[in-house]
């Protein structure tokens, strides 16, 4: 089992439980309550972050809302820049104006993930144009593209090492724009284009079933009705990751969440078993260095009999494992 500074953490801060878009593919819009994190309490919770038992490699502003709605983002970034090698944000790009991009880059932010699908207003509106007229979608799309281009130019002047990524949803509807997008984004200076698939995509399921991992289909369609992962498959996965020295789940520890209310979860899923406490009540250091988190990490690195039921039913982990390990005969 990896312990202490060998085990690296990634923390996602969800500063705002609200969004300025109504994307058709969004699965968390019903969970938003409009709350905004208390900056003073957040900074107090994070002030002793260097005392974490584990090495903190990255902090991302993300979650179920649009992080750029959080007005204190540049100031909090500046406070954190010496705490982790990577400070980044996910965004839909609408509010990423040249002025804000300059402030974020100068404050120490060095990673940007911008969610935009399509290289035309028509394709964009099919994914991120909910409740918008065609003219509104076109204006919004053009604003995002102008913002991305300006960000690339500012990055080259302020911090050439900052990474700019595009998150692109690849489906039958968007594939016609995909290769054109690659050429365009390469030309303006984007570092990477990351493709995503939708869990309700029939083509996605066909790929999984072709690899004899169709058990994911039902759990991915409806997380409320997830069932325990097939025991034989779990046993083969355990054997595989044990031989490779890897974790059974890549998200625990790497994708920890702090919600706008201060609740801390050990991964990107909010189960009772992954809830560690509230950073406004107990410090982040105390919660991450706790016996509960250590036991959870241990269950995924060797103590497999202790794997929590929530992890055994997790659609996110199942989907990732299916894709990541499908190429291996396990």
What's the confidence (pLDDT) of residue 196? Answer: 78
What's the confidence (pLDDT) of residue 38? Answer: 96
Q: Which two tokens stand for residue 325?
A: 């390990």
Q: Which two tokens stand for residue 203?
A: 């083509």
Question: Residue 219 above 50 pLDDT?
Answer: no
What's the confidence (pLDDT) of residue 320? Answer: 63
What's the confidence (pLDDT) of residue 236? Answer: 64
Say how far residue 116 (Cα) sits from the centre of its chain. Answer: 15
pLDDT band at 221 (very low <50, low <70, confident <90, very high): very low
- Longest Cα–Cα distance in the chain: 56
Tens-digit pLDDT profile for residues 297-317 = 888 877 777 888 778 777 676
pLDDT band at 237 (very low <50, low <70, confident <90, very high): low
Q: What is the mean pLDDT of the chain?
A: 82
- Using alpha carbons, select from 104, 126, 105, 107 the residue that is nearest to residue 116: 126
Q: Which two tokens stand for residue 184?
A: 């365009």
What's the confidence (pLDDT) of residue 8? Answer: 84
What's the confidence (pLDDT) of residue 256? Answer: 94
pLDDT band at 322 (very low <50, low <70, confident <90, very high): low
pLDDT band at 22 (very low <50, low <70, confident <90, very high): confident
Average pLDDT on 85-93 reads: 96
Q: Where are the beta strands (DSSP E) in the chain?
A: 8-13, 55-61, 86-91, 111-115, 163-169, 192-196, 256-258, 263-265, 275-278
């Amino acid at each position: 089992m990896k312990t202490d500074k060998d085990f690296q953490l990634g923390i996602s801060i969800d500063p705002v439980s609200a969004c300025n878009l109504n994307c058709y593919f969004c699965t968390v819009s019903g969970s938003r309550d409009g709350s905004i994190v208390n900056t003073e309490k957040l900074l107090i919770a994070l002030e002793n972050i260097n005392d974490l038992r584990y090495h903190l490699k990255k902090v991302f502003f993300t979650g179920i809302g649009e992080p750029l709605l959080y007005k204190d983002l540049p100031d909090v970034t500046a406070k954190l820049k010496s705490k982790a090698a990577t400070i980044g944000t996910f965004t839909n790009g609408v509010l990423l104006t040249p002025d804000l991009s300059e402030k974020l880059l100068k404050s120490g932010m060095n990673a940007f993930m911008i969610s935009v699908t399509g290289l035309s207003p028509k394709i964009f509106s099919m994914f991120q144009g909910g409740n918008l007229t065609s003219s509104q979608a076109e204006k919004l799309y053009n604003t995002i593209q102008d913002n991305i281009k300006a960000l690339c130019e500012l990055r080259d002047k302020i911090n050439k090492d900052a990474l700019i990524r595009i998150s692109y949803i690849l489906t039958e509807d968007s594939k016609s724009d995909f290769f054109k997008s690659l050429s365009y984004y390469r030309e303006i200076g984007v570092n990477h284009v990351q493709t995503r698939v939708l869990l309700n995509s029939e083509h996605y399921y066909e790929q999984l079933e072709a690899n004899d991992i169709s058990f994911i289909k039902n759990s991915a369609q409806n997380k409320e009705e997830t069932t325990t992962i097939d025991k034989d498959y779990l046993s083969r996965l355990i054997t595989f990751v044990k031989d490779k020295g890897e974790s059974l789940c890549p998200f625990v520890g790497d994708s920890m969440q702090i919600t706008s209310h201060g609740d801390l979860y050990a991964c990107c899923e909010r189960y009772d078993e992954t809830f560690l406490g509230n950073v406004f009540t107990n410090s982040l250091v105390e919660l991450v260095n706790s016996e509960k988190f250590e036991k959870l990490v241990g269950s995924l690195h060797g103590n497999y009999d202790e794997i929590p039921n929530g992890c055994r039913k997790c659609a996110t982990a199942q989907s990732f494992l299916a894709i990541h390990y499908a190429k291996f005969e396990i």
